[in-house]
Amino acid sequence: MALIVQKYGGSSVGSADRIRNVARRIEARAAAGDRVVAVVSAMGDKTDELIVLARDISKSPPAREMDVLLSTGEIVSSALLSMALHELGRDTISLTGAQAGIRTDAVYGRARITGIDTERLERELAMGRVVIVAGFQGVSEDFDVTTIGRGGSDTTAVALAAALHADTCEIYTDVAGVYTADPRVCPGARPLRDINYEEMLELATTGARVMHARAVEVGAIYDVEILVASSFDAEAPGTIIRREATMEQSNKVRGIAHQDHIAKVTVRAVPDRPGIAAQLFEPLASAGVSVDTIVQNASVEDLTDMTFTVAQGDLGAAIKTVEGLLPTLGAREVVSDPDLGAVSIVGTGMATTPGYAARMFRTLFEQGINIELISTSEIRITCIVASSRVGDAVRALHEAFALDQAD
Amino acid sequence: MALIVQKYGGSSVGSADRIRNVARRIEARAAAGDRVVAVVSAMGDKTDELIVLARDISKSPPAREMDVLLSTGEIVSSALLSMALHELGRDTISLTGAQAGIRTDAVYGRARITGIDTERLERELAMGRVVIVAGFQGVSEDFDVTTIGRGGSDTTAVALAAALHADTCEIYTDVAGVYTADPRVCPGARPLRDINYEEMLELATTGARVMHARAVEVGAIYDVEILVASSFDAEAPGTIIRREATMEQSNKVRGIAHQDHIAKVTVRAVPDRPGIAAQLFEPLASAGVSVDTIVQNASVEDLTDMTFTVAQGDLGAAIKTVEGLLPTLGAREVVSDPDLGAVSIVGTGMATTPGYAARMFRTLFEQGINIELISTSEIRITCIVASSRVGDAVRALHEAFALDQAD
């Protein structure tokens, strides 16, 4: 009798029919003797609708009230899914984040789970009930509602699996698992059988949207095996995220992630003196601009070029901030390119085996794709390229690293 | 520095504009130095939308999950109103029923408030904050969400006013107070300056929809003065519900209530023996049929006619149940009239002054309106008449009892 924590995303519970479908899936597992805790997201576009309501009232609503508002989306889903299971004759109960004992800090909008009091959950499971938990939310020490940010329901599920010592954590979504590349961009992409936490983290932070990085981190810390699979296609096996993926795969590029809507800013001819980076990036942080990759060119005559990337939406604020800093910095000018994307290859094998970077650069060169910026980690290489060439780059790299061939 | 509990109904918070309007009203009071607790209902048709969602999943959803679902409507309103006040620069906080300390029994869908733990409310008020409370909901001993049934937000407000020893409780709605009759039916109807709890209770239970009977009961028990006024028309003074209304008014009919969609069922030639009423009405209760007025005619040759009224929607179930009982009862037949209404006159004076009933019956007779059934209380007389004549009856009685003349 296994204990299973499942998570169903917004599109999986986007309508009454889909909620019934999820209920049937859970019922099949419960009927087979498993104990099930299911975490749900808000239905379809519900969260966005609530955000529109709030923006209509206030341009900058207080974060605490935003959390109160947004948490209702998941509560609605949890009650409806519990009703659908009850309709199938299954004893079931829905719990809010607070009722499920999910304690967080009070950083509204992106609270971190500080602990889970499993007493109520275990009591309900002991009564033979399927427990439906509203994802994405918790409760602060002051008994205030908090939400835990993007990908929150994934994190709720993995954290619950860790706290309950569940046998497995299953994340059901609208795709069939973790793909070698985005199948909408790369027709040859296929789902991986398994992948390790580090690789999944790198893919998640460089554009793979299938699972949020924080949930993977929690999984890695507590060693929770996570199955990512389709809630629509019961035949597809999905991808398992675990500490050690298949041995022979650890010496390969495992996947390619990409991101669009990236802009590049270059500050030209900055005097190369200590503290210059802080003088540039602290005001950007204060202006709410999130900077990704940063590159500083080698100095020529004590002058250097500082280049960084930002989300396209932040470019205006970034340029305005840097222009105001030019006199202080003693820099010549700001130039920018608003229309870029990123392509990353990820694989644990890269840490120990040379030649991956060279093969990546050659592949892009053969496609006539110019590399604007490069950044690397132990197990990842990212190239910033023209937005119009991102798709070509993904497809060419997918072929170059033989990702279309089965594991 | 008065402490005021206000309640804003669903139409008062039905859009972003209306929420802003409510925020401005609260802000004016807070700026004048009053401490304000505001209770809100769900926006406009939100509760009905949630009910439709649930019915799409299950014909008979579990009451506990229904309460979890419906409670979100008021939480959304409370967060949005708090945001709107914050936008006006006012320090404010929204609280769910549970956070506001509203404890109830576990009778989901129509829970009763068992107590209010005011610690958090008083702490927030002491910090100078306007507190917005999600109406209609509370929390059971097991920390489960409950809703307190129709008129729930009114009851929340009056109960909070009692628990906080507020100086006044103000119920804002889409009408300008308690009218002498429904102004949509009776153009001469006008708002009363004041009315006592007993009269308001009788009006509320016989069709006046301005305020729910349970809220009035709570007001009567804890002696909370309740102002009922328009949230749209700041000039209209509204109606005060209190223990003693204006002295000289206590010898008059104060208002006329009416109800539509009433059906009458008569069981003919029932043997008049002890226990026969129980044999008839217990099975009706088991079938979920709510019976209102019951009349038993005088016996002729040990046979009697039993007549009762039900809501039109329950008529089918009532007839089916009674037909099944005819052999057991030894009764001849069931006849019914599906298309009736009720007209009631209410006034404390009726208890001590004769002649009100006679004047009511004569007025209806002069209009050629046939009385199908009569029921009375100390301070109320109700006549069941043809549905098509309800409006005529209200208008004629309004004139006959001089209700169009100012207090």
Q: Which residue has the higher pLDDT, B23 or A379?
A: B23
Task: Give which of B342, B231, B326, B353 is closest to B271, Cα–Cα.
Answer: B326
| pLDDT computed for residue B407 by the predictor | 61
| pLDDT computed for residue B64 by the predictor | 97
User: Which residue intervals of B185-336 are DSSP H helices?
Assistant: 197-205, 213-222, 276-286, 315-329
Cβ contact (<8 Å) for B87 and A58?
yes
Q: Is the pLDDT of residue B356 over 90?
A: no
Q: Is the pLDDT of residue B251 over 80?
A: no
Any idea what the CATH number is for the domain that residue B317 is in?
A: 3.30.2130.10
Residues A150 and A261 in one domain: no
Of the residues B198, B221, B249, the one at which a domain ends: B249
User: In this structure, is residue B405 part of a structural domain?
Assistant: no
Q: Is the pLDDT of residue B212 over 90?
A: no
Which chain A residues have a beta carbon less than 8 Å from that of B14?
Answer: none
Sheet holding B255-271, edge to edge: B291-296, B303-311, B255-271, B333-346, B380-386, B373-377
Residues B284 and B192 in one domain: no
Q: What is the dihedral of CA A312, A315, A316, A318, to 10 degrees?
A: 160
Cβ contact (<8 Å) for B76 and A80?
no
| pLDDT computed for residue A295 by the predictor | 82
User: Taking the complete model, does pTM exceed 0.90, yes or no?
Assistant: no
**In chain A, whose CA is at the least distance from the CA of B69?**
A76
What CA–CA distance (Å, rounded) separates B160 from B234?
24
Give the gap in angstroms from C-alpha A168 to the nearest C-alpha of chain B.
27
| pLDDT computed for residue A290 by the predictor | 85
Which chain B residues have a beta carbon less than 8 Å from that of A18?
Answer: none
- Mean model confidence pLDDT for chain B: 92
Q: Is the pLDDT of residue A391 over 60?
A: yes
User: In this structure, is residue B407 part of a structural domain?
Assistant: no
Residues B205 and B316 in one domain: no
Give the gap in angstroms from C-alpha B149 to the nearest C-alpha of chain A.
18
Cβ contact (<8 Å) for A83 and B145?
no
B105-108 own/partner pairs: CB under 8 Å, 24+ apart: B105/B140, B105/B146, B106/B140, B106/B141, B106/B142, B106/B144, B106/B146, B107/B146, B108/B63, B108/B64, B108/B66, B108/B67, B108/B146, B108/B147
This complex has an ipTM of 0.82
Domain with A371, as residue range(s), is 256-400
What CA–CA distance (Å, rounded) separates B70 from A79?
9
Which of A8-17, A108-117, A237-246 shows the lowest mean pLDDT across its residues? A237-246
Residue showing tokens 């599109």: A11
pLDDT in tens, A158-204: 999 999 999 999 999 988 899 999 999 999 999 999 999 999 999 98
Residues A278 and A148 in one domain: no
Q: Which of B65, B78, B80 sits opposite A79 (nearest CB)?
A: B65
Q: Is the pLDDT of residue B296 over 70?
A: yes
| pLDDT computed for residue B249 by the predictor | 55
User: In this structure, is residue A406 part of a structural domain?
Assistant: no
Residues B189 and B261 in one domain: no
What CA–CA distance (Å, rounded) separates A403 from A405?
5
**In chain A, whose CA is at the least distance from the CA of B13?**
A57
pLDDT in tens, B319-338: 999 999 999 888 999 999 99
| pLDDT computed for residue A244 by the predictor | 79
Q: Assign B245 a pLDDT band (cuts: 50, 70, 90).
A: low
Q: Is the pLDDT of residue B352 over 80?
A: no
User: In this structure, is residue A206 part of a structural domain?
Assistant: no
Does A150 lie at the interface with B, CB-CB under 8 angstroms?
A: no
Residues B187 and B321 in one domain: no
User: In this structure, is residue A231 part of a structural domain?
Assistant: no
Arithmetic mean of pLDDT, B14-37: 96
What CA–CA distance (Å, rounded) separates B61 from B155?
25
Of the residues B249, B274, B307, the one at which a domain ends: B249
The domain tally of chain A equals 2
Q: Is the pLDDT of residue B406 over 90?
A: no
Residues A277 and A167 in one domain: no
Q: Which residue has the higher pLDDT, A12 or A276?
A: A12
Of the residues A147, A174, A201, the one at which a domain ends: A174
Q: Assign B169 a pLDDT band (cuts: 50, 70, 90).
A: very high
Q: Is the pLDDT of residue A250 over 60?
A: no
Residues A137 and A16 in one domain: yes
Residues B280 and B229 in one domain: no
* Residue B322 burial (CB count, 10 A): 24
Residues B360 and B244 in one domain: no
Cβ contact (<8 Å) for B58 and A87?
yes
Specify the 3-state DSSP secondary structure of B274: coil
The count of CB pairs under 8 A between chains A and B is: 105
Does B93 lie at the interface with A, CB-CB under 8 angstroms?
A: yes
User: In this structure, is residue B395 part of a structural domain?
Assistant: yes
Residues B67 and B191 in one domain: yes
Which chain A residues have a beta carbon less than 8 Å from that of B119?
Answer: none
Q: Which residue has the higher pLDDT, A328 or A407?
A: A328
Residues B42 and B190 in one domain: yes
What CA–CA distance (Å, rounded) separates A298 from A308?
15
User: In this structure, is residue B381 part of a structural domain?
Assistant: yes
Residues 58 to 87 of A: which have CB under 8 A from any B CB?
58, 61-62, 64-66, 68-69, 71-72, 75-76, 78-80, 82-84, 86-87
pLDDT in tens, A138-163: 999 999 999 998 789 999 999 999 99
What CA–CA distance (Å, rounded) separates A274 from B42?
58
User: In this structure, is residue B406 part of a structural domain?
Assistant: no
pLDDT above 70: percentage of residues in chain B:
98
